[in-house]
Amino acid sequence: MITVKPFKGITYNADKISDFSLVLTPPYDIIDRELQDKLYDTHPYNFVKIDFGKTFQEDNEINNVYTRAKATFEQWLKENVFIEDREDCYYILRQDFELEGKTFSRLGFYGLYKLTPFSMDTIMPHEKTQSGPKEDRYRLTKACGAFFSAVFSIYKDDEKIVENLYESNKFGEPYMTYTDYQGVRNILYKSKNPKVNNAISEMMANKNLFIADGHHRYETALRISQEFADNEKAQYTLMYFSNTLNDGLIVLPTHRLLTDVAFTQQELEQFLARHFNVTKFSHNEKRDCFQKLAELKDNHAFVVATRETLLLAELKSMEDINQFFPGDMCEPLKELDVNILFYALLKGFFHVTEEELKNQKHVFYSKDIEDALNKVSEGKADVAFLLNATEVSALEKVARFNETMPQKSTYFFPKIPSGAVIYSFL
């Protein structure tokens, strides 16, 4: 069993902030330096100044990005820019958005999760983590005594209890509505009714969770809970929960690009033909090519884009490429398109090693097909690999083998906002 409960969250004060789109931010790990500069200039109380502040050459142990975050957080609390709720709440988030001409809504909620080690009975990861981001999140969290960004988790509820409560108008009027940088309309409610909140807590008690996004944050929270073992509040972390049966739970692909690799078009096509059924398209036929790719989403297919052509590659058989995989790799990992691409093609033909992949040597990423194609045509990449999205069911299959996916296997869309609700454990 797991423990999920409402809490007295800290939120922006609506009397101080008239437009929440000016202060709430994307998760820190998708903010680059250019966006960071833009967010700094957007509003004096933009959340990036706490969650992903600027570093300076003269930083030291006394004055650095973490001490400045702590000072800013405390100052904004003092100024009532942030206010703490007096009642325990679940914070309900509805996100309305369009994707490829279709309209979606995703419903989820913020609450506290009592930290547990990874287990199929409680919560499981699906991606590996890196030491650098974990250390950064740890130092920020410890300095400020608060969790600023929620771990994004998913659960399965056939009865759709939270969704039905929402449809029954059990959460009252929204306290925050705004359209974010993704073009997503975010509507937040505070669920204060103890009876309603108890129903949510009881429903969650027997659920198994999978981390969709925020693996570094979860492992940071585990470290904090051990270091503050005598602090009951530190045994919980801020988490966002969404039902896998929600139609708005969208996973997008992350495309791969290679640079500084030597190959000829003829050699590439010959290699592909040995293991894949290959259909050639001109760049002018890209619409037809990617429509066909989408139709092959269950068939292990991807597009190889060079300056000369687009090659739609559909796997002939798993047995045919088994030679490329490590001998101890489980079947769910072998069935991932990102692994088929890496082991059969990036490693098997382009000779990119696991270490080079980990360090992003030769390899970089794009979430946008047009951006990836443009980088190839402009000579900023030698070749691009355009993928279908990984299914949520694949995430669960891999986790049940106590394995993790490669990095950049999933991109859950839309991202949840940072700064919408904060949990202080001190």
The full set of domains in the chain, from first to last, is 4-250+413-424 (3.90.1530.10), 254-388 (3.30.1760)
Q: How many CB atoms lie within 10 A of CB 289?
A: 20
How confident is the model at residue 303, as a pLDDT?
98
| Cα 377–chain centre separation | 29
Map residue 425 onto helix, strand or coil. coil
Q: What is the pTM of this model?
A: 0.92
Of 251, 213, 259, 250, the residue nearest 372 (C-alpha): 259
Give me the residues of the chain with pLDDT under 70, please. Answer: none
The Cα 293–Cα 299 span in angstroms is 9
The Cα 172–Cα 165 span in angstroms is 10
Residue 188 per-residue DSSP state: E
Q: Are 314 and 299 in contact (CB under 8 A)?
A: yes
Tokens of 73: 């957080």
The Cα 174–Cα 177 span in angstroms is 7
How confident is the model at residue 1, as a pLDDT?
92
Q: How many CB atoms lie within 10 A of CB 2?
A: 18
Of 218, 304, 221, the residue nearest 263 (C-alpha): 304
- The amino acid occupying position 253 is P
How confident is the model at residue 359, as a pLDDT?
80
